[in-house]
């Protein structure tokens, strides 16, 4: 077994690998960029090596610096995590040539599966179901149209080297096939330096289901059941679960056996994932093989009890797998939510900055540790309170994983865990996750890869959050306010006859999205238990919320709940199950006076171009005095590996530039003004 390994990655996956290595008694070396000098993975590792500036192309993608770090520290093996160099065949080969073990598949397996056209041919030879299509590179759009018509519409046009949603189009007629082929080829050439494009049948109502495989150096390969990954936004997974609520045992077995056959065909060693698209009739077809550890691997660990990182390390050290196919259990149900630094109410724009508060829900499961019999909650993260979410890398804050006896228990446990996940300083997608988990079709298991586009195609708004009892949030605000009143009444030295007198009747004023107010009369009775009566319904609330705190846990009418209550001046912000309200509790007289207060309209910022997110201003394409037309490019902001182009929303003349190229922008910071 290795005595020391280097993790060629950052963030939560680097921390995840370190936990398993520590359990196995293996020393660890972290690598970091200048932006990650104070990152959690640097602190967790036994040693850390600086490998370059913040941009990943100058640090985490520099194979030469990573290999040199291995030599300098005496690391015997490299774990690549996922992303960066994890599926780079040249890196895997160079590592092995230097006498360092690569904790992953052999370079020839990565090469075989890395090219979509070549991998499909291999799958056909291994008798794996493949989607009908044309598996050779296509030269002209006219040829693409003929092939598409022969296969039968709809078809999917894909770049061979594509990924992350780039180089991908669905065509439903000749015109779309012609245009889609041209667009895909251009995107592929610009993004990957490879303009080969192929065409295959588009599966209606498709589900994205993947099979986890493990292989060793002795020719032994097993599958560890499946993961349901159909909830995707722009081809990026949002929620994953294991097992799938859709496929039958017979389909599961057939998919698993075909995944093993493919892995054996490329002499696969280590953990890998064979991805399938599954039709509504449970017909399934090979998509691709990911020759690395997946982001969503914890759900497989939860239902099998197998530490996938440990098995990767043991296989790389030459050990055989310690179990046969029949030995792999499938216990309960696991769900993972990716908690990302993005604002779902602003079109999921990246949100970078300092984590002013970071308080994950209480954990009863931990990576690299045995799964408790009754399941629990696990958080995999690479951040900490007070740390920065840098603009240079992906937007993931944490992965929230739950395990329950069945799917309904897992969903309920995830909803409570999301309620208790406190993140301040940056926006997160938690409200969106909560809305998905509460959607009746998700609860019923009735969804496919088009679910989010179908139900949230126009974006995500606060009113899209379903809540079974919005009055509960009003009651919770009133109960918190009553606690403030009780504290005020208990202050010593109050003038006799003029002390704080607590009544029972109040009005909860709820602020609307456009500044309007809704007045909700309530009655508060606090004899032992605080009971709030809202719209003739009583809410008996007992909770552990304290002044200055955020998370509130307790019981309402005997039922447990977790919520968040936070004071902002005179307003109380209450969050529960994805719904958020800003409320002010006052006397009926004060509420009456508030009704006649003049409304202060927000400042008119229509003559300014504002930054929609924190990020780096990489380009301003206009000058003062320049006349611009609607849709014309004005500026480019880079954040979290994405370029965001800002365009003019109307015709006008540029008056003044208020920010400079290379400047780090805050959200809503003016970039330029119009005359």
Answer yes or no: do 116 and 51 share one domain: no
The tally of domains found in the chain comes to: 6
Q: Where residue 655 sits, what CATH number does that domain have?
A: 2.40.50.100
278, 253: one domain = yes
158 and 216 part of one domain: no
Q: Quote the percentage of the chain above a pLDDT of 90.
A: 79
The tokens 């009754």 sit on which residue?
A: 374
Cis ω for the linkage preceding 243 (within 30 of 0): yes
Contact 270, 254 (CB under 8 A): no
Alpha carbons 562 and 323: distance in angstroms, whole number: 40
User: Nearest-CA neighbor of 105 among 117, 97, 96, 118?
Assistant: 96
The top-scoring range by mean pLDDT among 93-102, 523-532, 663-672 is 93-102
Tell me what pLDDT residue 162 has.
66
State yes or no: pLDDT of 316 exceeds 80. yes
Query: Tell me, what's the pLDDT at 344?
Result: 93
Max mean pLDDT range (346-360, 395-409, 459-473): 395-409
| Model confidence band, residue 29 (pLDDT cutoffs 50, 70, 90) | very high
Q: What does pTM read for this prediction?
A: 0.86
Identify whether residues 267 and 119 lie together within a single domain: yes
Collapsing DSSP to helix, strand or coil, 216 comes out as coil
Q: Is residue 263 part of a domain?
A: yes
Handedness of CA 403, 406, 412, 415 (dihedral sign): positive
Q: How confident is the model at residue 133 (pLDDT cuts 50, 70, 90)?
A: confident
Domain closes at, from 313, 331, 349: 331
> What band does 282 get if pLDDT is binned at 50, 70 and 90?
very high
- The tens digit of pLDDT for each residue in 378-428 reads 999 999 999 989 888 888 999 999 999 999 999 999 999 999 999 999 999
- SS3 of 438-492: the string is HCHHHHCCCCCCCHHHHHCCCCCCHHHCCCCCCHHHHHHHHHHHHHHHHHHHCCC
Residue 305 lies in a domain: yes
Q: 439 with 478, same domain?
A: no
Residue tagged 């006008």 (tokens): 652
- Whether 288 is catalytic: yes
User: Would the pLDDT of 499 be above 90?
Assistant: no
Query: Do residues 219 and 195 both lie within one domain?
Result: no
SS (H, E, C) 555-606: EECCEEEEEEEEEECCEEEEEECCEEEEEEEECHHHHHHHHCCCCCCCCCCC
Compute CA distances 570 → 508, 520, 532, 552, 598, whole Å. Answer: 12, 17, 20, 19, 18
Q: How buried is residue 580: exposed, middle or buried, by Cβ count under 10 Å (0-12/13-18/19+)?
A: middle
Identify how many contiguous H helices and E strands the chain contains and give both numbers. Answer: 17, 39
CA distance 267 to 220: 9
* The pLDDT value given to residue 165: 63
Helices marked H in 266-360: 297-304, 308-316
What's 517's domain CATH number? 3.30.700.30
205: Cα within 13 Å, side-chain hemisphere: 8
Residue 174 backbone phi and psi in degrees, to 5: -60, -40
DSSP string, 74-132: T--EEE--SSTTTT-HHHHHHHHHTT-EESS--HHHHHHHHSHHHHHHHHHHTT--B-S
- Verify that 479 and 587 share a domain, yes or no: yes
> What mean pLDDT is predicted for residues 569-578?
95
pLDDT score of 670 more than 80: yes
Residue bearing tokens 């997608």: 429
Closest CA to 159 of 112, 117, 114: 117
Using DSSP's 3-state secondary structure scheme, residue 538 falls into: strand
Same domain? For 123 and 257 the reply is yes
Angle between helices 116-125 and 107-114 (to 10 degrees): 100
In a domain? residue 440: yes
Is the pLDDT at 563 greater than 80, yes or no? yes
> CA–CA separation, 26 vs 46, rounded Å?
10
Q: What is the pLDDT of residue 164?
A: 59
| Residues forming beta bridges with residue 223, ordered by sequence position | 213
Least confident range of 159-168, 277-286, 452-461, 560-569: 159-168
Kindly report the CATH number assigned to the domain that includes residue 169.
3.30.1490.20
Q: Whole domain around residue 625: which residue ranges?
A: 608-674
Same-domain check for residues 288 and 314: yes
Q: What letter does residue 522 receive in the DSSP assignment?
A: E
pLDDT digits (tens, 9 = 90+) for 579-621: 999 999 999 999 999 988 887 777 888 899 999 888 889 999 9
Q: Is 357 strand, coil or helix?
A: strand
Where are the strands (E) in 164-247, listed by range? 166-171, 197-201, 207-215, 221-233, 236-242
* Residue percentage of the chain with pLDDT more than 70: 99
Domain membership of residue 297 (yes or no) is yes
Higher pLDDT, 395 or 515: 395
- Among 552, 571, 595, the domain-final residue is 595
Residue of 210, 226, 228, 288 marked catalytic: 288
Instruction: Give the pLDDT confidence of 179-238 residue by residue, as tens digits.
Output: 999 988 888 887 778 888 889 888 888 999 999 999 999 999 999 999 999 999 988 899
Distances (CA, A) of 341 to 279, 369, 618: 33, 27, 21
Tell me the pLDDT tens digit for each residue of 138-170. 889 999 999 999 998 989 898 877 665 668 899
Place of tokens 């609860």: 443
Q: Assess whether 17 and 127 both reside in one domain.
A: no
Give the domain CATH number at 30: 3.40.50.20
Residue 294 pLDDT exceeds 70: yes
> What pLDDT, on the 0 to 100 scale, is given for residue 214?
98
496 part of a folded domain: no
Evaluate if residue 551 carries a pLDDT over 90. Answer: yes
pLDDT of residue 299: 98
> What is the CATH classification number for the domain harbouring 449?
3.30.470.20
Asked whether residue 603 is domain-assigned, the answer is: no
Report in angstroms the alpha-carbon separations of 426 from 85, 340, 386, 397, 398.
28, 10, 11, 10, 13
Rounded CA gap, 644 and 636, in Å? Answer: 6
Closest CA to 539 of 556, 523, 564: 556
Q: Which of 331, 354, 371 is the last residue of a domain?
A: 331
Note the pLDDT of residue 390.
87
> Highest mean pLDDT: which of 73-82, 182-191, 282-291, 452-461?
73-82
Quickly state the pLDDT bin for 42 (edges 50, 70, 90): very high
Residue 600: inside a domain: no
DSSP state of 346: G
Co-location of 255 and 353 in the same domain? no
Residue 528 domain-assigned?
yes
Residues 71 and 193 in one domain: no
Q: Would the pLDDT of 514 be above 80?
A: no
Answer whether 44's CB lies under 8 Å from 23's CB.
no
CB 5 within 8 A of CB 78: yes
Cα angle 140-142-148, degrees, rounded to a multiple of 5: 105
So what's the pLDDT on residue 163?
63
- The answer to whether the CB of 258 falls within 8 A of the CB of 128 is yes
């Amino acid at each position: 077994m290795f005595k020391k390994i280097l993790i060629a990655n950052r963030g939560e996956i680097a921390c995840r690998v370190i936990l398993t290595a520590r359990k196995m008694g293996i020393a660890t070396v972290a690598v970091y960029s200048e932006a990650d000098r104070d990152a959690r993975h640097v602190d967790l590792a036994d040693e850390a090596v600086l490998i370059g500036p913040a941009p990943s192309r100058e640090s985490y993608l520099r194979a030469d610096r990573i290999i040199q770090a291995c030599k300098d520290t005496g690391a015997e093996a490299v774990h690549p995590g996922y992303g960066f160099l994890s599926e780079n065949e040249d890196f895997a080969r160079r590592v092995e040539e230097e006498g360092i073990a690569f904790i992953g598949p052999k370079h020839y397996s990565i090469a075989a599966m890395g090219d979509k056209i070549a991998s499909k041919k291999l799958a056909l030879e291994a008798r794996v179901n493949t989607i009908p299509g044309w598996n050779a590179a296509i030269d002209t759009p006219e040829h693409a149209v003929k092939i598409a018509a022969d296969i039968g519409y709809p078809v999917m046009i894909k770049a061979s080297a594509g990924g992350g949603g780039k180089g991908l189009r669905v065509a439903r007629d000749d015109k779309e096939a012609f245009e889609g082929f041209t667009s895909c080829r251009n995107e592929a050439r610009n993004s990957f330096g490879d303009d080969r494009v192929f065409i295959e049948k588009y599966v209606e109502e498709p589900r994205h289901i993947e099979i986890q495989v493990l292989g060793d150096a002795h020719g032994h390969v097993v599958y560890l059941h499946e993961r349901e990954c159909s909830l995707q936004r722009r081809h990026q997974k949002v929620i994953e679960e294991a097992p799938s609520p859709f496929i039958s045992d017979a389909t599961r077995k057939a998919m698993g056996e075909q995944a093993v056959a493919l892995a054996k065909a490329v002499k696969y060693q280590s953990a890998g994932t064979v991805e399938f698209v599954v039709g509504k009739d449970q017909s399934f077809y090979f998509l691709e093989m990911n020759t690395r550890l997946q982001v969503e691997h914890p759900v497989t660990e939860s239902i099998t009890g197998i530490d996938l990182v440990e098995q990767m390390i043991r296989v790389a050290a030459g050990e055989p797998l310690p179990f046969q196919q029949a030995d792999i259990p499938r216990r309960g149900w696991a769900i993972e939510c990716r908690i990302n630094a993005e604002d779902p109410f602003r079109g999921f724009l990246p949100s970078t900055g300092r984590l002013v508060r970071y308080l994950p829900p209480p954990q009863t499961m931990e990576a690299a540790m045995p799964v408790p019999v009754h399941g629990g909650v696990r958080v995999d993260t690479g951040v900490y309170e007070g740390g920065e979410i840098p603009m240079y890398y992906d937007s993931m804050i944490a992965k929230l994983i739950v395990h329950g006896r069945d799917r309904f228990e897992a969903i309920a446990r995830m909803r409570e865990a999301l309620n208790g996940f406190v993140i301040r300083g940056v926006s997160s997608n938690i409200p969106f996750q909560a809305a998905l988990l509460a959607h009746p079709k998700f609860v019923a298991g009735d969804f496919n890869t088009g679910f989010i586009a179908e139900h949230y195609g126009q974006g995500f708004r606060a009113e899209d959050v379903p809540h079974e009892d919005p009055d509960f949030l009003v009651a919770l605000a009133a109960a918190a306010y009553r606690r403030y009143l009780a504290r005020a009444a208990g202050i010593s030295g109050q003038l006799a006859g003029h002390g704080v007198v607590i009544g029972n009747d109040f009005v909860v004023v709820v602020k609307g999205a456009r500044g309007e107010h809704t007045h909700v009369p309530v009655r508060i009775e606090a004899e032992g238990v605080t009971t709030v009566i809202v719209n003739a319904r009583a809410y008996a609330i007992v909770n552990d919320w304290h002044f200055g705190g955020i998370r509130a846990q307790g019981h309402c009418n005997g039922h447990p709940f977790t919520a968040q209550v936070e004071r902002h001046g005179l307003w109380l912000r209450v969050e529960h199950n994805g719904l958020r309200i800003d409320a002010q509790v006052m006397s009926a007289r004060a509420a009456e006076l508030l009704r006649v207060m003049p409304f202060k309209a927000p400042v008119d910022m229509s003559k300014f171009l504002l930054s929609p997110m924190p990020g780096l201003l990489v380009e301003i394409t206009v000058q003062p005095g320049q006349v611009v037309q609607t849709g014309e490019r004005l500026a480019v902001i880079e954040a979290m590996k994405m370029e965001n182009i800002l365009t003019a929303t109307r015709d006008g003349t540029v008056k003044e530039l208020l920010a400079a190229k290379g400047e780090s922008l805050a959200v809503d910071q003016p970039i330029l003004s119009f005359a």
